Amino acid sequence: MKKKIGFIGLGNMASAMIGGMLRKGLVEPQDILGNAKTEKTRQKAAEEWGITILNDNAGVARQADIVVLAVKPQFFEEVLKGLKGLGADAWQNKLLVSLAPGKTMEWFEKSLGFPVPMIRCMPNTPALVGEGCTGMCVSEGVSEEAAQEVMQMTDSFGRTVMVPERLMDVVGAVSGSSPAFVFLFIEALADGAVAEGMPRAQAYELAAQSVLGSARMVLETGKHPGELKDMVCSPGGTTIQGIRALEEKNFRAAAMSAISACVEKSRKL
């Protein structure tokens, strides 16, 4: 990829993207620019990746072809004030990539005062271990080539799914927030095993590997999750009794409610 990529914000998601791109050989370290709020974060990124560090966001945007906004939503207005000063003409041949939940393309246009070619991406924390899932939507005026370049970036640390912008809040819930739900589920499985006498370290290993393997079966077999569930549930066996216990406690409804709660909150950001 013969592009300069600038990161405003160098936290977990930016680190996942930078690490993935460098491991895949998509770009060289000298083609990545970055800035962060603290000197400690800037120094860590420079030492870990060998990228070029600048001390102002406008400088990153000015020098980059693709500008990745990887700061938390509450800092976006502050950051955009600096980027707005570059003017509409400066963005003619640039692409803005936002990793923020809840901030729509319309919001960006109003905040900047002019439209910019833009892609919204919603990665999740498993990107840190190369198993991320990213939802992506593209604004009008973004070329197919530019969209493919950004997809290469996100594919470097997992999978990418294209969706219309109206579903980005749902992506944030089912992909962005769900790892926390899965971690809670793994912890609960392990707690149950510990209550039955198993050492905690073994319980975590067994629970985590079972979740990992189950997810891989869904992705690789193409079978419906219900069909895979039925394969495990022998008539009159132990597993179907566990399924009944989960259903009695409204396990499905709780999971669905969690997604709805995340979507509702995202729409208010």
pLDDT, residue 240, reads 98
Same domain (yes/no): 129, 179: no
Report whether 222 belongs to an annotated binding site: no
Hey, how many other C-beta atoms are within 10 angstroms of the C-beta on 198? Answer: 15
Same domain (yes/no): 155, 206: no
Same domain (yes/no): 131, 185: no
Q: Are 71 and 18 in contact (CB under 8 A)?
A: no
Report whether 215 belongs to an annotated binding site: no
Same domain (yes/no): 139, 185: no
pLDDT, residue 193, reads 99
pLDDT, residue 255, reads 98
pLDDT, residue 74, reads 80
Same domain (yes/no): 9, 139: yes
Report whether 86 belongs to an annotated binding site: no
Report whether 206 belongs to an annotated binding site: no
Same domain (yes/no): 185, 101: no
Report whether 153 belongs to an annotated binding site: no
Report whether 73 belongs to an annotated binding site: yes
Of the residues 132, 162, 192, the one at which a domain ends = 162
Q: Are 76 and 69 in contact (CB under 8 A)?
A: yes
Same domain (yes/no): 143, 201: no
pLDDT, residue 269, reads 79
Same domain (yes/no): 147, 58: yes
Q: What is the pTM of this model?
A: 0.90
**CA 108 – CA 21 distance, rounded (Å):** 26
Same domain (yes/no): 155, 178: no
Report whether 130 belongs to an annotated binding site: no
Of the residues 162, 193, 219, the one at which a domain ends = 162
Q: Are 49 and 18 in contact (CB under 8 A)?
A: yes
| CATH number for position 117 | 3.40.50.720
The secondary structure of 170-198 as a DSSP string is HHIIIIIIHHHHHHHHHHHHHHHHHHTT-
pLDDT, residue 82, reads 87
Report whether 71 belongs to an annotated binding site: yes
Same domain (yes/no): 179, 123: no
Count of the separate structural domains present in the chain: 2
pLDDT tens for each residue of the chain, 269 residues long: 789 999 999 999 999 999 999 999 999 999 999 999 999 999 999 999 999 999 999 999 999 999 999 998 788 888 998 899 889 898 988 999 999 888 899 999 999 999 999 999 999 999 999 999 999 999 998 999 999 999 999 999 999 999 999 999 999 999 999 999 999 999 999 999 999 999 999 999 999 999 999 999 999 999 999 999 999 999 999 999 999 999 999 999 999 999 999 999 988 87
Report whether 37 belongs to an annotated binding site: no
Residue in 135, 21, 140, 120 with CA at minimum distance from that of residue 73: 120
Same domain (yes/no): 109, 199: no
Beta bridge mates, 118: 96
For 23, the domain range is 5-162
Report whether 79 belongs to an annotated binding site: no
pLDDT, residue 184, reads 99
pLDDT, residue 2, reads 85
| CATH number for position 179 | 1.10.3730.10
Report whether 259 belongs to an annotated binding site: no
3-state SS class at 33: strand
Same domain (yes/no): 149, 196: no
Of the residues 162, 186, 217, the one at which a domain ends = 162
